[in-house]
A and B are shown apart, each in its own frame.
Chain A
């Protein structure tokens, strides 16, 4: 058996499904009722994105990433996996990246999302759907199969935060800058999806579907730049 071929995905997940879901639950319990505020922030960000107020939308969600980095990864997840400390750095980096469009308008689309033509419109509609998935659909699906506290919420847990942010990035940004702001959420969704898959959790499929949809929308938006690219 060759050394590297013998490594399996399982070798990189040092905890059991029971422990992971209890972790989600314990984070929920300790921060309740902050969920109400974080969810309101997420919904407000989507509404602002629809009204072409991208800078404010990004400003609202940047601190959410810093919070998830600190609480979800450093305070909790790092107890189970030392690698979570590095992921926390990535989430902090995303908070800073989100401040770029928030403070300078970097990469934001000039035209209102609703008025985009053709492929751009499709990508933006996909972005909206992804954002709604992160805010509402994912928690609802989770509610069907788990106890209330295990439901993940935007701004408290990493998955819905990454999903909703991906949706917003697709709604707001154009060209290569989409990749810049989508990279960290995409990588996290891949890692999280693989983790859930190893833990044999059905929730993995939702993350992979979102990942595939977001990747296609990113490609569409990049193409859209060369066809009709107007960014400021």
Chain B
């Protein structure tokens, strides 16, 4: 099946660059060059890759049938792809977000780089297969790249179905999600015992529990990691910005010229993390977030320094 075709070729770069220019995004990015496209990391042990900055849709894409906001979110999706974005994550729990994605994709046409990630969530009702069919209709796409069991709801039953769908070529990858540091022991057991491709969990500079066991296990087992709540739901970055905290000078060496870059680069430079999925409603924020996907990235020692800096604030 045609999933996650994200090997970054020169042609792909040029295509993205042209799209970005067309979207009028480049003037905001001095120093943008064809070789400065988002960093891509391999998905687990496969040869396929994902841009390290994706996009979440919790709250931000739940705009119902509001024409004005539908148009605004469509612009956001357009910019996301133009800037080399790949993974977009949603859930039947997020109200109209899957429909809004469907609206945007119908307006824009499906981008080659889209890596559509959805979830099965028991309270939404219906069987896992029914949920998948419904979500495909809502997103207006033939199939998803990734299907995850949301918050481990009925994970045994749902994972069994997702495995069948994968075997039948109806989805590229399967996985599980958690957030806020919840149920890590159970997540660890599933990662150790089940055949999954992805795990989604909360990992950010202020919430680093996953470093203890889950990230090393993911690396060991070749499970790709999606870091959700990269800004702790927004409070992390909004507080830093509101308080007017200054980014330390030494961080410029790793390309951290904004808090978005500082916080996101910290996450995606962890060797076990595949991508982070900040959610936003603002084009300017999206641009900042996408810029965090560009090299250079901090190495282990610099990451420690970054964490210590935030702890000391």
Measuring CB to CB, which residues of chain A are less than 8 angstroms from any residue of chain B? 1, 3, 6-7, 10, 13-16, 18-19, 22-23, 26, 76, 79-82
Q: What distance in Å separates the Cβ of A27 from its nearest Cβ neighbour in chain B?
A: 11
6 example contacts (A-B, Cβ-Cβ < 8 A) are as follows A1-B181, A15-B59, A16-B281, A19-B64, A80-B62, A80-B96
- For window 174-210 of chain B, which residues contact chain A by CB distance below 8 Å? 180-183, 209
Q: Is the CB of A19 within 8 A of B180?
A: no
Q: Is the CB of B124 within 8 A of A19?
A: no
Q: Is the CB of A79 within 8 A of B281?
A: no
Q: Is the CB of A6 within 8 A of B64?
A: no
* B183 nearest in chain A by CB position: A3
Q: What distance in Å separates the Cβ of B252 from its nearest Cβ neighbour in chain A?
A: 33
Q: What distance in Å separates the Cβ of B209 from its nearest Cβ neighbour in chain A?
A: 8
Q: Is the CB of A16 within 8 A of B64?
A: no
Q: Is the CB of A82 within 8 A of B181?
A: no
Give the complex CA separation of A1 and B233 in angstroms: 17
User: Which listed residue (B59, B95, B209, B233) contacts A79, Cβ 8 A?
Assistant: B95
Give the complex CA separation of A1 and B63 in angstroms: 32
Q: Is the CB of A14 within 8 A of B95?
A: yes
Count A-B pairs with CB separation below 8 Å: 53
- Give chain B residues whose Cβ lies under 8 Å from the Cβ of A76: 64
- CB-CB contacts of B58-86 with A at 8 A, as 1s and 0s? 11101111101100000000000000000
Q: What distance in Å separates the Cβ of B1 from its nearest Cβ neighbour in chain A?
A: 31
Q: Is the CB of B180 within 8 A of A6?
A: yes
Q: Is the CB of B63 within 8 A of A19?
A: yes
Measuring CB to CB, which residues of chain B are less than 8 angstroms from any residue of chain A? 58-60, 62-66, 68-69, 93-96, 124, 180-183, 209, 233, 281
Q: Is the CB of B181 within 8 A of A23?
A: no
* B96 nearest in chain A by CB position: A79
Q: Known contacts A79-B96, A81-B95; is A19 also within 8 Å of B69 by CB? A: yes
| Extra A-B contacts (16), CB below 8 Å, given A19-B63, A80-B96 | A1-B180, A3-B182, A10-B233, A14-B59, A14-B93, A14-B95, A15-B62, A15-B63, A16-B59, A16-B60, A18-B281, A19-B64, A19-B66, A22-B69, A23-B64, A79-B95
Q: Known contacts A14-B94, A16-B59, A16-B281; is A79 also within 8 Å of B182 by CB? A: no
* B125 nearest in chain A by CB position: A82
Give the complex CA separation of A36 and B124 in angstroms: 38
Give the complex CA separation of A7 and B180 in angstroms: 8
- Give chain A residues whose Cβ lies under 8 Å from the Cβ of B124: 82
Q: Is the CB of B182 within 8 A of A6?
A: yes
- Give chain A residues whose Cβ lies under 8 Å from the Cβ of B281: 16, 18
- Give chain B residues whose Cβ lies under 8 Å from the Cβ of A26: 66
* B181 nearest in chain A by CB position: A1
